[in-house]
Amino acid sequence: MYKSFHIKNEIRVLGIDDSALIRDQIMIVGAFFRGVEWLDGVMRSYVTRDGMDSTAAIAEMTRSSKHCGQIRIIMLDGVTYGGFNPVDINYIWEKTGIPVIVVMRAYPNFRKIEDALVYLPEPKKRMDIILKAGEITKVQTKTGAQPVYIQHAGIESEHAAKIVKLTATRSNIPEPLRVAHLIATGIVLGESRGKA
């Protein structure tokens, strides 16, 4: 079942990315955008490196945010966070009522992922969650730019692609994800320099 809504230029999008893998607890940052021009809020949480808690962390961070009632799309940078901590995008859609779009810079190599997972606890469960994200669609966000690949839950493929194109203004990556990445990287680098 898909949520039906009109896609406006000022659609509220929560883009979530993780920071560098330099600790056991990895910070994830949410950048809440109104359209592509306005950063209206920033939130953060933590996931365990190569753990199994990213789904719960993202759902809770979203639901507990003061912006939750305004968020129309949750946008994720890939379907794993903190290394190989898989995200069940269908669970997040069910628990929050907010559609989820996963954006990937390259088509995933599932054989390599499966080979890497054998070194972690519950490799089959992790792989099942990754595969559960569903069909992968290629999206050309800008003429001449590298395409991106998307998965989605709670929204039709054509609408997900339209939102990705609408929000990819400064690069082929949607602005909420690009900014979430910059913030997450900046915070962690700043903290590590401060402790040096």
* 171-190 residue pLDDT tens: 899 999 999 999 998 876 55
User: What pLDDT is recorded for position 49?
Assistant: 97
- The CA-to-CA distance between both ends of the chain, in Å, stands at 50
Residues near 98 by beta carbon (within 8 Å), at least 6 away in sequence: 14, 62, 71, 72, 73, 74, 92, 154
The pTM score is 0.92
Mean pLDDT of the 124-141 span: 96
CATH number of 103's domain = 3.30.2170.10
CB 71 within 8 A of CB 14: yes
The reply to whether 191 falls in a domain is no
CB 82 within 8 A of CB 47: yes
Residue 66 gets which letter from DSSP?
Answer: T
User: What pLDDT is recorded for position 104?
Assistant: 97
The reply to whether 2 falls in a domain is no
**DSSP letter for each residue of 126-177:** HHHHHHHT---EEE--STTSPPEEEEEESS-HHHHHHHHHHH--SSSS-HHH
**Across the chain, what does the average pLDDT equal?**
91
User: What pLDDT is recorded for position 134?
Assistant: 93
Mean pLDDT of the 4-14 span: 82
Range of the domain at 147: 12-186
Q: Which percentage of the chain shows pLDDT scores above 90? A: 80
| Separation between Cα atoms, residue 14 and residue 20, nearest integer Å | 20
User: What pLDDT is recorded for position 144?
Assistant: 82
The number of folded domains in the chain is: 1
Answer with the residue of higher pLDDT: 9 or 14.
Answer: 14
| Separation between Cα atoms, residue 186 and residue 177, nearest integer Å | 14
Convert the pLDDT of each residue in 63-102 to its tens digit. 999 999 999 999 999 999 999 999 999 999 999 999 999 9
In sequence order, the β-bridge partners of residue 104 are 149
| Location of structure tokens 């990754």 | 130
The reply to whether 127 falls in a domain is yes
Is it the case that residue 125 has pLDDT exceeding 60?
yes
pLDDT confidence band for 31 (50 / 70 / 90): very high
Mean pLDDT of the 4-29 span: 87
Pairing of strands 38-48, 148-153: unpaired
pLDDT confidence band for 35 (50 / 70 / 90): confident
The reply to whether 5 falls in a domain is no
- The dihedrals phi and psi of 145, each to the nearest 5 degrees, come to -85, 160
The reply to whether 106 falls in a domain is yes
The reply to whether 148 falls in a domain is yes
Neighbour count for residue 148 (Cβ, 10 Å): 24
CB 172 within 8 A of CB 147: yes
Is it the case that residue 194 has pLDDT exceeding 70?
no
| Separation between Cα atoms, residue 47 and residue 53, nearest integer Å | 6
Is it the case that residue 196 has pLDDT exceeding 50?
no
| Location of structure tokens 């290394």 | 83
The reply to whether 3 falls in a domain is no
